Structure 1
Amino acid sequence: MSTTETLKDAANYAALRTKLAWLTHKVHAHAQTVTTLASDVDDAAEQMLDAAETMKALAVDDATTAEFADAALTMTGVKDAAGAYTSAADSASAAADDAKATTENDHGGIADAVTTSPVDMAEATFYTQQ
């Protein structure tokens, strides 16, 4: 189920707030996962490069040394891509926070008024402006 479909299923303000809170949490968790993976790949790339330099110093054949250096270069490219992805995930996290805050700011007073009102709300059609 897509995020849009999930939000469309929110039949009322309380459900929308719940779904936005869940979505915001998921986006933040995903951003943290990407950040952690980028750091792990960066560490592995450094270790591969160190191994290549050590092998070169020990006069290991050029083909083997080159394979380790190529692997380190590839991992560095992956790290750079993960950095861009992390930046995008951070932007998505901020956008999710903004959406949640906007929803609460724009509609929170209405929800509070409804929940504290001594009378029940009328059917939604009663409030429709024509």
Structure 2
Amino acid sequence: MSVTESLKDAANYAVLRTKLAWLTHQVHVHGETVTKLAADVDETAEQMQDASETMKALAVDDATTAEFADAAVTMTSAKEAAGEYTAAADSAAAAADDAKTTVESDHGGIADAVDTSPVEMAEAAFYAQQ
């Protein structure tokens, strides 16, 4: 289900607020996952490069040494791509936080007033602007 489809289902403020909180949390979790994976890939790339240099010092054949060096370069490129993804995820998380804050600040007072009002709300059609 896309974010747009999910938000279309938000028929009222309480549901919208709950969905935005969930979506914001998901964006943050995915960003943290990518950051951790990028760190793991970077560490592995360094280990591959160290292994390549050790093999070279031990006079291991050039083809094997080159394979390890190439793997380290590939992993470093993957780490850089993950860094770009992490930056995008951070931007998405900030936008999700802003959306959540905006919804709460723009509509929170209305929701609080409705929740504490001793008078029942009219049918939704009554509030529609014609």
Match of 1:13 in 2: 13
Does residue 1:25 correspond to 2:25, yes or no? yes
Does residue 1:128 correspond to 2:128, yes or no? yes
* Identical pairs, percent: 79
Does residue 1:91 correspond to 2:91, yes or no? yes
Shift of 1:125: 1.7
Q: Using the TM superposition, name which of 32-41 and 120-129 deviates more.
A: 120-129
| Aligned residue identity for 2:102 | T
| Aligned residue identity for 2:18 | T
1:28-47 map, 5 Å: 28-47=28-47
CA distance in 2, matches of 1:5, 1:98: 20
CA distance in 1, matches of 2:129, 2:11: 20
How many residues of Structure 1 are paired with residues of Structure 2 in the alignment? 130
Secondary structure (helix, strand or coil) at the match of 1:21 reads: helix
CA distance in 2, matches of 1:27, 1:18: 14
Match of 2:102 in 1: 102
CA distance in 1, matches of 2:128, 2:57: 79
Secondary structure (helix, strand or coil) at the match of 2:118 reads: coil
CA distance in 2, matches of 1:31, 1:114: 36
Structure 1 runs of 4+ aligned residues shifted over 6 Å read none
CA distance in 1, matches of 2:34, 2:7: 24
Q: Using the TM superposition, name which of 118-127 and 91-100 deviates more.
A: 118-127
Shift of 1:13: 0.4
Q: Structure 1: give runs of 5+ residues left out of the alignment.
A: none
Shift of 1:64: 0.3
Question: Taking structure 2 as the reference length, what is the TM-score of the superposition?
Answer: 0.98
Secondary structure (helix, strand or coil) at the match of 1:91 reads: helix
Deviation string, structure 1 residues 81-105 (Cα, Å, up to 9, x no partner): 0000000000000000000000000
Secondary structure (helix, strand or coil) at the match of 1:125 reads: helix
1:64-83 map, 5 Å: 64-83=64-83
Q: Structure 2: give runs of 5+ residues left out of the alignment.
A: none
Deviation string, structure 1 residues 20-57 (Cα, Å, up to 9, x no partner): 00000000000000000000000000000000000001
CA distance in 2, matches of 1:117, 1:26: 34
